[in-house]
Chain A
Amino acid sequence: MISFSQVSKRYPGGHTALENVSFDIAQGELVFLTGHSGAGKSTLLKLVVAIERPSSGVVSVNGQNVGRLSRHAVPYLRRNIGLIFQDHKLLFDRNAIENVVLPLAIAGMERREALKRARAALDKVGLLKREKAMPVALSGGEQQRLCIARAVVSRPSLVLADEPTGNLDAEYAAAIMAMFKDFHRVGTTLVIATHDERAVGALGGRILRLEHGKVLESNRMGIKEDLPEAEIRTFANAGPRPDKASE
């Protein structure tokens, strides 16, 4: 589903966010991207949805070379991917349901059907009773759930989440992770970038650990070795947080 081959990303000014990164993510996988701030997690997600283009290497999603997509083709790629942001990126002049309806409206769905599906998505994240609430009236956890509802309302086969529990307390974070588990159960591919060690491993899945723009392999036992160009193996059961001492 997602394939990175020898991907590097250098920003103007010389900062290298990713360096020779290679890995594959199969359909239906649950993958955690972990690492410190600035390790390259967000850049990696941005490359998947063509917010950034690779400086070298090939990023492909469903066989499409994302780095070479034309400007006009990018929106169609993004419509098939659910995006969850740490800062939610909600529209504060629209109520909850209108925020969730937005991707469906963009896709040209008939309004009545779009509202029906938006309500189903809100129900899934436990916000159906707050469909008329403006985002400013929602708590941080509710705003994040609203963002998740918007990301999954189009029923995408791939969901990317950037620090989805970053600003939430343990209880809210657990609820969000439970939702991700549900999405994963129905076959959705999930890539979750997080430095929240509580979240990692609680759901199983695979861990891709990033450090200084390189991908390290990680498992229950902690980071095994630095393999910047190696294919990352899938771990059926990701364990507790990686040992900081070994990072």
Chain B
Amino acid sequence: MNLLRAQLTALKAALSRFWHSPLVSLFTLVAIGVAISLPASLYLVLANLDRLAGHLPTQPEISLYVSRDASQDQAKQLGQVLSGRKDLSKARFVSRDTALKNLVETGGLNDITAGLDGNPLPDAWVLTPADPDPAALEKLRAELEKLPGVAEVNLDSQWAARLQAALRIGRTLVGLFSGLFALALMAISGNAIRSQILARRDEIEVSRLIGASDRYIRRSFLYHGTLQGLLGGLMALLILLVLVAALQGPVAGLATLYASPFRLGFLELSEQGLILLLAALSGWLGAWLAVSRTLRQVDPN
């Protein structure tokens, strides 16, 4: 009961410090919020790119366009050749009519295609190579180009694989930046706590003289640091919300141009919780380091 009372007393003391210096507290919270929001916003961008790339095929695909001059027999023969190749794991035929239909349905180009005299698209084969190695793919592409009745061979989906690779680098960067900004947060929080301790130097000295232990003195400052981190984390989430709200319109507009229903997403609840937890933890750690160091400086002994 005594311990619980001591915790509540320390918590009240920490809250009263926010109350008694609202402007300084606000500036500190904004600084912490900005420090957290930088890696968090990078994470949010990556999460959205990940979502965007999530439904794209990351396996390399080859689009083989049949020459418009090719006869039906040539096209059939080409199909048999492709189906028999061991370096292809899958071969799917897309007729020119199907291709035009898909274009109209997904591209929203109804008005344009209606004005055409005929179907300008060629028959095509969508091929999945067995070996995704870039050198093997290039070799395969060159071989396919030489087949009779082939107009053009394009390597698709490589950009998606590259995007995934870039996202992996981005995620690593988020990790590194998060670590750096956690240090910054600890420094900001610790410095704020240190100022608080020095401002209350007399109180600490008197309290020690009349029997306060270091644990007793430290407790309220640790609550202060933890609350500071937590509120700074909330501030960061608020900053991110404002960013997403500000970018939602332009992003939606851009997505519409590509006939995509894509909208910017916000962090999952679990991710928000993790940010708050890490912020509170960093605040606590910063406070602990600052209190331990500064209490030694104001030791009456």
Contact = CB atoms under 8 A, between A and B. Distances in A.
B210 A106 contact: yes
Nearest to B213: A75
Given A51-B300, A51-B301, A91-B202, A106 B207 contact: yes
Contact of A106 (B212, B300, B301): B212
A130 B207 CA distance: 22
Interface stretch (B2-10, B128-136, B140-148, B257-265): B2-10
A85 to B, nearest CB: 8
Interface in B203-235: 203, 205-214, 216
A78 interface: yes
A48 interface: no
A89 interface: yes
B209 A72 contact: no
A83 B301 contact: no
B211 A107 contact: yes
Interface string A56-77: 0000000000000001101111
Given A91-B202, A91-B203, A106 B209 contact: no
A46 to B, nearest CB: 9
Contacts of A14: none
A75 B5 CA distance: 19
A190 interface: no
Contacts of B203: 91, 93
B9 A105 contact: yes
A25 interface: no
Contacts of B202: 89, 91-92
B215 to A, nearest CB: 8
Interface residues of A, number: 27
A88 B206 CA distance: 10
B210 A102 contact: yes
Given A51-B300, A91-B202, A108 B2 contact: yes
A108 B4 CA distance: 10
A91 B202 CA distance: 7
Interface in B159-217: 202-203, 205-214, 216
Interface in B16-60: none
B213 A72 contact: yes
A91 to B, nearest CB: 5
A74 B301 CA distance: 11
A110 B3 CA distance: 11
B48 to A, nearest CB: 50
Contacts of A74: 301
B207 A102 contact: yes
A76 B209 contact: no
Contacts of A83: 209-210
A201 interface: no
Contact of B210 (A52, A53, A78): A78
Contacts of A220: none
Interface in A102-117: 102-103, 105-108, 110
B5 to A, nearest CB: 6
A50 interface: yes
A172 to B, nearest CB: 22
A206 interface: no
Contact of A75 (B6, B9, B205, B211): B211
A90 B203 CA distance: 8
A96 B25 CA distance: 28
Contacts of B216: 75, 106
Contact of B211 (A76, A90, A92): A76
A108 B213 CA distance: 12
A150 interface: yes
Contacts of B5: 108, 110
13 contacts: A51-B300, A53-B301, A71-B214, A74-B301, A75-B216, A76-B211, A78-B210, A79-B210, A91-B202, A102-B210, A106-B210, A106-B212, A107-B211
Interface of B: 2-3, 5-6, 9, 202-203, 205-214, 216, 300-301
The 3 nearest A-B residue pairs measured at CB? A79-B211, A78-B211, A75-B213
Interface of A: 49-53, 71-72, 74-79, 83, 89-93, 102-103, 105-108, 110, 150
